[in-house]
Amino acid sequence: MLKEALLETLWPTRCAGCERAGKVLCDDCIRNMEYIDAYAACPICGDPAGLRVCTRCNAPVEDPEHRVRTLECRSAAMFTGRMAKAIHAYKDAGETRLYKPFALILARIVPPPWLDEADCVTCVPASKAAIRKRGFNHTEPLAQQLASNLGLPYRPLLVVGNVKDQRGLGRRQRSANMRHVLKVLPDTKPPQNVLLIDDVMTTGATLEAATTALKDAGAQTVRCLTLARA
């Protein structure tokens, strides 16, 4: 406690979204992120403007060899402004305490039927290179805290092999990058209904690869939650 008090005196906690002193993510930033309106979003994949005609769900498959399954997803906010700053602070600037407010934000967007049917929470794991760079698997504490908030067990189910950094890649490149990279842990059988957590959905290639791996291993439904959508 004394050490924490000293550190707080020397380097006071500042909000990752606006740099205001006091909290790691202040109430004003939490209120004023660019949240996605669930009533205007695609009821399947969560595309922010896809309620009537979802261009993502109806888009042609660019790579016929890549087996794309219908992706059930909800995202809390757009990857802009304060949310983008907070996620960058969490992943790349060492502000690991953000997993707690992030988990609270995620808990608010879980559809009740998803919660009722879920058997466990898991996450898309970071690559070995990303863990070496950041010093931690950024999705795991977020998924663990969310599981605790929801009263569900957390289970690590996936492992990731060697993969290039996804940032800057298009949909086809991301799909090729993730193909056969995400796999279920050896000697592991997923439960029937899984809540899958990631930080940002860009093209959906990573979540599609993880969903395919889990379903191939025995899961019946895989529902995805992300903090943000690019």
pLDDT digits (tens, 9 = 90+) for 18-41: 999 999 999 999 999 999 999 999
pLDDT value at residue 7: 47
Is the model's pLDDT at 181 over the cut of 50? Answer: yes
pLDDT value at residue 147: 98
71 or 178, greater pLDDT: 71
124 or 69, greater pLDDT: 124
pLDDT value at residue 63: 47
Average pLDDT for 88-94: 95
For residues 166 and 154, give the distance between their C-alpha atoms in angstroms, rounded to a whole number: 26
Give percent of the chain with pLDDT exceeding 70. Answer: 82
CATH domain 14-229 topology:
Rossmann fold (3.40.50)
Concatenated DSSP letters for the chain? -HHHHHHHHHS--B-TTT--BS-SS-HHHHHTS-B--TTTS-TTT--TT-SS--TTTTSPPS-TTS-----EEEEEEESSHHHHHHHHHHHHS--GGGHHHHHHHHHTT--HHHHHH--EEEEPPPPHHHHHHHSS-THHHHHHHHHHHHT--B---EEE-S----TT--HHHHHHHHTTTEEEPTT----SEEEEEEEEESSSHHHHHHHHHHHHTT-SEEEEEEEEE-
pLDDT value at residue 68: 44
pTM, to two decimals: 0.86
Domain ranges within the chain, ordered by starting residue: 14-229
Average pLDDT for 82-107: 97
pLDDT value at residue 66: 40
Average pLDDT for 158-186: 70
pLDDT value at residue 161: 75
For residues 157 and 210, give the distance between their C-alpha atoms in angstroms, rounded to a whole number: 10
Least confident of 31-35, 56-60, 63-67: 63-67
Average pLDDT for 172-198: 84
Least confident of 10-14, 52-56, 63-67, 142-146: 63-67
Is the model's pLDDT at 140 over the cut of 50? Answer: yes
For residues 151 and 116, give the distance between their C-alpha atoms in angstroms, rounded to a whole number: 11
At position 128, the amino acid (one-letter code) is K
Is the model's pLDDT at 65 over the cut of 50? Answer: no
At position 224, the amino acid (one-letter code) is C
* pLDDT level of residue 146 (50, 70, 90 thresholds): very high
Average pLDDT for 175-199: 87
